[in-house]
Amino acid sequence: MTDRFNAAELLAVIAARQLRDDTTVFAGVGVPLLAAALAKRRHAPRLTMVIEGGIIGPEIAPGRLPVSTNEMRAGHRATMLPGITDAFLFAQRGFVDVGFMGGAQIDQYGNINTSVLGPDYWRPKVRLPGTGGANDIASLCREVIIVTPHEKRRFVERVDFVTSPAWLRGDGSRRAAGLLFGGVSRVVTTLGLLGFDPDSKRMRIEATHPGVSIDTLRQNTGFPLLEAPRLEVTEPPSDEELEMLRALDPERRFLG
């Protein structure tokens, strides 16, 4: 990426900037949790993290980043340690503002596939880890932000399987399916920031990272992208952000 930071560091820093103080985020393990921990330490001290294993409000200690939702490090100085079903119950009741997710495939309406690759569910080319709590997060959080590397194989016109619903077919079908709130608001990638057209719900370019052209972003996407009325360029990670991020993951389990 540059001499100062790599693609994973850029992704984590830009993702962290999307989170606000005095909100609650349901963060998956990996870069989403790393980004949430960075946001809490740097600019959102009253951010409350929710971890799937049934952990509310932990403090992620530098150098002690958990690699699983169920290990003890994930519960460091947590406010609550309820059962896993209670964690999702809080989302169902509307207490979780943001869901932070990744995905193997993402389509033009933000739907996510983490189940199978290939047209035949029972005989897939690749069987992926499955949903875990991803469907619940996508269905129940007030807002969902996807965090992912930007690769053409990931960004497909239609996912092979809808594990986690976003805007479904983009024609009001999310609401028709009984999902009355929420939806994917933006996609943070290693090339830029993507959002969704308010009418069609199709994915659109909203910002590129420094040195990344619109053509590069389009060439790495498997479907035509719309463009926001005003395109921006993101600010590169600062030295302070990188220092705090690297302290959280000194073994570089997720930072490469």
Backbone torsions φ then ψ of 60, nearest 5 degrees = -80, 115
What number of residues does the chain have?
Answer: 256
Give the active site residue among 9, 52, 143, 206: 52
Q: Does the annotation count 52 as an active-site position?
A: yes
Residue owning tokens 């600062």: 238
Cα–Cα distance, 227 to 53 (Å, whole number): 38
Q: Is the distance from CB of 106 to CB of 187 less than 8 angstroms?
A: yes
Alpha-carbon distances, residue 177 vs 67, 166, 171 (angstroms): 34, 11, 11
3-state helix, strand, coil in the chain (%, to 5): 25, 25, 55
Nearest alpha-carbon partner for 185 in 167, 161, 208, 209: 167
Cα–Cα distance, 117 to 6 (Å, whole number): 28
What amino acid positions are annotated as catalytic residues? 52
